[in-house]
Each structure stands twice: as C-alpha cells, then as structure tokens.
Structure 1
Amino acid sequence: MAEAEAGSAAGAQEKHAGAWPKFRRGLIKLVIAAAIAYAMAAGYMYVNQRSFVFVPSGELETPADKGLETVSAEIVEMADGTKITVWTAEPVDPGTPTVVYFHGNSSNLSGRWKRFKQIVDSGYGLYAPTHRGYAGSEGSPSEAALVSDALEHYDRAAAAGSPVIVHGESLGTGLAAAVGAERSDVGLVVLEAPYTALVDMAGESYPWLPVEMLMKDPMKTRERIGKVGAPVMIVHGTDDAVIPVDHGKRLFEFASDPKEILIIEGAGHSDLWKTGLWDAVRDKWAREGT
C-alpha cells in the first residue's frame, strides 16, 4: 500500500513538473502575441494620426453662394508657395476691428458662413483662411505648417491698419493662441471650445498609448497661452462632448491677465454662436478693445 501511494505521488509530481513548461510556453506565446498586436495598433495610430486630427470634407463654396455679398474669396500665397483661399471683408471704418478667424478640424471654411454673417453684419472686418490641405487650399496640414500660416495670415490682416481680434474655433484655438503669443499688437484673443493640448486630448482618448512619444502635432496651447499679452476670452459649453469643458477651465488657469471665461450652460461643441458667443465678444471688445 505504501509503495503504491509513493508511486502515485511521484507520478503526480512528474505530471505537474511536465505541465509547468507547457504553461510557460503558452504564456510566452500569449505575451508575444499581445506585444505584436499592441505594436501593430500603435504603429497604425502613429502612421494615420493626422487623419484623426485633420478631417477636411466637402467642396468649398463661394461667399456669394451663401449670400455674403460683402465678402470676397481671395487666393493668397504663403511664404513656401502654398496657395490658400481666404474669405475677406473690410470693416465699416478703420476703428472697427477685423476678425482673423481660424476654423476647426472638420468640414471646410464655407460651413462657417452663418458665423461670418454675424461678424460682417456687425460692421466688423473678416479675414478667414482655410487650413492648408482643406477644400480650397493646397498643401498638407501639420502643427508647424498651420502655425506658420497663422502668423503670416495675421500679419497680412494687421497690415491693413485696423485693430485685430484673433478668433480660434476648436482646432483653431491652438493657432489663435500661437499668434497671440508671438504678436504683441493683437487686440483680443477669443478661444471657442479650446483644448489644453492636442496631446492631452489624445491621451484621454487613447490612455493605452504613449502619446507623448508618438504625437507629431502635440499643439500644447497650455504652454503658449501664458505668453499672450492681449486680453484672452475663453468660451466653452458645459455639454461639449468633443472637447470637455474642463479643458477650457484648465486653460483659463494657464492664461495671463487680463482674461475672462464664459461657460455657457447646456451648450455643446458647435452651438456656442447660437447661444450668445458673438454678443459676448462684441461686449468684451467694447469694454477692453483698443
């Protein structure tokens, strides 16, 4: 009996000892497969990341198509030769500001025509460029290219002599902040539904990726906003499902005085102009504009 029990115990030990190498080999294979899958996913995101950030669509219509009789469509050539479409309108008088408007990441410039109508109907001037790579413009978008373009666009608009309000919408808020940080004569910087940084947005959406290492266009507005010398106005909606309102609140903390934040209760990402944004901007200019 004792010999049988000893033999049984020895067999069990041998079986257990033989099972461990199989388990280890299986575990190693699983880890390798997971690592390959992760590397493939990370590689895909790295290669295609700009298609997530810049989403142009549709054909660019003309101002006349939208009933904007006082607005002209011009083709301007950037320093590197890239041709960009810009919608422009003169202010009613030299003391009235021109709004340099940097649009968001989707659709194209003509999709913002209702906003532009509010601007020109108020007697303000307009200088609204398309982003390179979007309908109506040549080239490919990137942070470096768009920031360079934004500075050049601002200089063109400011050369006319009227005061300038730099307005950024969503993606364009990073460009507006960059201009405000580099140009001391900006009259007012308006940031509509801004982000602290594109890399912060990416980190929130893809926490499993090392986005700080992979992001080609981090657009760190939080590092630029404190260098803006002009008054800063941040407008954000509490129900923004694209860029959470916390981004606007945190960015406000990074900004230097004079600064103001307007949080619109119940407003989403794209309806701030329907819920008082432009009236608030005009009131801000009346109080602090130069």
Structure 2
Amino acid sequence: MILTTTLKALTAGTMLLLTASHGSIFDSRIFEPEKMPASLNWGDVPEPSEISVTTSDGLILKGYRWKPRCKSHVALVFFHGNSGNRFDAANLAAPLRRDDVDLIVASYRGYGDNPGQPDEEGLYADAEAFVKQAKADRPDKVFLFGYSLGGAVALNATTRVRVNGIATLGTFTDLRSAAPRLARAFIPYEFDNLKIAKSINTPWLLMHGTKDEVVPVKHAQRLADAAGNKAVFVRLQGAPHRILLDQIAQRIWTQLGSMSLSDSEDNVSPSTEIQPADSQWNYLARDPQCDRILS
C-alpha cells in the first residue's frame, strides 16, 4: 500500500510542482515492484511451474501455477498487492493449494522481471490476461482472490470476464480515500472499488482484519454496505493487514463453494441473502518456523 509517511511529509505546494512536472513520484509510492530474488527457496512448499500470458497490449507477463491433480477442478487466480513480485505473491497464496484447484498466481507489468510500467489500466489488462488463461483449461468454476491493491484488480476483472466468485482481503473503497488527505487530490489513479461494489453481480467474500494498520476496517464496512446481499463480510478478529492464509484457507474455500454462481446463473438473485457460517473469524499470528517444528 501507499507509504503514508512519505506522502504526509510533502507540502501541498511541493506536490503540485511534482505533479505538474512528472507523475512518477506518486507512481513510485503507489506501485512498489521488487526484482526477483537471485535464488528461489520454496521451503516446504512444492515448487510451482512458471506460466506466461500475453496482455491485450502485447506484453508477455510471467506468473506461477500449481496445477490440479484432479480431472474435475476449479481455478483460482490470485492477485497480489502493490509491492513485491510473483515469488512473494506465490508464498502468500500457497496455503490456498488443493488437489482440485488450479491455483494461478498473477503478477503485473513492471514487477519482478516482467516488462512494462505499472499503472491502473495496465494492471486491469494484466488481470484479464491471467483470468482468460485460467478459463482456457475449462475448469468447473473460476474464482478470483485479491489482496490489498490486488482486491481492486480482482474486482475490476469481474466487470470484464465472467467468474463464479471473488474473495478480497484488506482492500479499500478507493485509492484516494486510503491515502492521507493532503495527497488525495494529486493521486492520478482511482481504483474505485466502491463504484464496482454498488453494481457487482459476482458473489463476493469480503475479508478484513480488525487490526489492519494500513487500510482501516471501515473501508470494508462501506464496501459491504454498498454491495448489500451480494457480499459476505467477514471480520478477521485481531488480524493486521498482511496475514498468513494457512489459518483461514479451508474456511475460504468452504465459503466460496457455498456462495458461488452456477454456470447457468448470470448474477446473484437480489432476493437471496448470502450468509457466512460465521461473520467473525479469529486470527492469531503464528511463526511459520514454529509451525514446522511443532508439526
């Protein structure tokens, strides 16, 4: 997410000059790509295969994939936040692996060793390419998962490609609202999730940590209110912005399976309330190293 300390330190006059001359100072705080590490250590996680997709504007982007072992399977496309690379994203997404899931980890232009420069429309095009790749193998259903900024990317994808369900974690109403007040007028991108929430027809599992220090949980409440009965809002009790998914992965799959569209449905019936088994999930941060020792 945006580094609020840097933006708060800039005066309005300084930001105006920077914006007039070049927008890259803001891009560098919104998008924080990292190069791929020199060596990849997957630890206890089976190494995924590398995949490539071609975007509508001709970029060839790399991501990762854990292929399903079952002939009958669903696909899930995972979209990471504003920082890192596909290796970081894969480590975050890894707990969502299942034998009956084609887990595709998307990444964006300019991230890792991918070509191009990130911007809002570019990330939307990148997402569309990865979702189309997931659908190409004709899975029984297709789901999207978006973390932080990736939630905005995933939500926009639902307006471009039909999918059976979406999950988001730690996303915001819109990018400007998530930034310090002083910086909002100068941010060149919208990432307007609230607008999409008002008309979304895809079943939506909306998760947010109650101790999120980057995006306050009130953002999720506004999104849930806007989506109405199209969304399930789950508060992760005690969870910060970045969490380990291993504790909640099974519950995520259970919830997605219970609320997803069938292939014959075009949208969620307005008369149907989608309810989670439990609207509050406990989250206790754990040390992965300790987990391995104790398991």
- State whether TM-score is above 0.5: yes
Is the CA contact 1:63–1:73 (under 8 Å) kept in the aligned structure 2? no
Q: What is the one-letter code of the residue matched to 1:147?
A: Y
Partner Cα distance (2:62, 2:192) in 1: 26
| More helix by percentage | 1
Structure 1 residue 170, shift from structure 2 partner: 0.4
Q: Which residue of 1 aligns with 2:241?
A: 269
Is the CA contact 1:62–1:110 (under 8 Å) kept in the aligned structure 2? no
**1:51 and 2:28 aligned:** yes
Q: Which residue of 1 aligns with 2:95?
A: 118
Q: TM-score, normalising length from structure 1? A: 0.77
Partner Cα distance (2:42, 2:213) in 1: 31
Q: Which residue of 1 aligns with 2:75?
A: 98
- Alignment gaps of 5+ in structure 2: 1-10, 263-295
The one of 176, 186, 189 aligned to 2:154: 176
Is the CA contact 2:53–2:133 (under 8 Å) kept in the aligned structure 1? no
Is the CA contact 2:56–2:125 (under 8 Å) kept in the aligned structure 1? no
Is the CA contact 1:115–1:273 (under 8 Å) kept in the aligned structure 2? yes
Structure 1 residue 175, shift from structure 2 partner: 0.8
Structure 1 residue 229, shift from structure 2 partner: 1.6
Q: What is the one-letter code of the residue matched to 2:259?
A: E
Is the CA contact 1:63–1:71 (under 8 Å) kept in the aligned structure 2? no
Partner Cα distance (1:174, 1:62) in 2: 30
- Greater C-alpha Rg: 1
Is the CA contact 1:102–1:169 (under 8 Å) kept in the aligned structure 2? yes
Structure 1 residue 234, shift from structure 2 partner: 0.6
**Matched residue SS, 1:227:** coil
**1:208 and 2:208 aligned:** no
Partner Cα distance (2:228, 2:73) in 1: 25
Q: Which residue of 1 aligns with 2:223?
A: 251
Q: Which residue of 1 aligns with 2:116?
A: 139
Structure 1 residue 40, shift from structure 2 partner: 2.4
**1:237 and 2:209 aligned:** yes
Partner Cα distance (2:229, 2:72) in 1: 24
Partner Cα distance (1:124, 1:268) in 2: 27
Q: Pick closer, same or farther for the CA change 1:266–1:64 going to 2, 3 Å.
A: closer
Residues 5-154 of structure 1 correspond to what in structure 2 (within 5 A)? Answer: 38-44=12-18, 46-60=23-37, 65-66=42-43, 68-69=45-46, 71-121=48-98, 123-154=100-131
**1:165 and 2:143 aligned:** yes
Is the CA contact 2:146–2:153 (under 8 Å) kept in the aligned structure 1? yes
Partner Cα distance (1:147, 1:201) in 2: 19
**Matched residue SS, 2:176:** helix
Is the CA contact 1:189–1:232 (under 8 Å) kept in the aligned structure 2? yes
Partner Cα distance (1:125, 1:152) in 2: 16
Between the two proteins, what is the percent identity of the paired residues? Answer: 21
Is the CA contact 2:96–2:245 (under 8 Å) kept in the aligned structure 1? no
Partner Cα distance (2:102, 2:41) in 1: 17
Number of corresponding residues? 247
Q: What is the one-letter code of the residue matched to 1:176?
A: A
Partner Cα distance (1:280, 1:144) in 2: 32
Q: Which residue of 2 aligns with 1:282?
A: 253
- Alignment gaps of 5+ in structure 1: 1-36
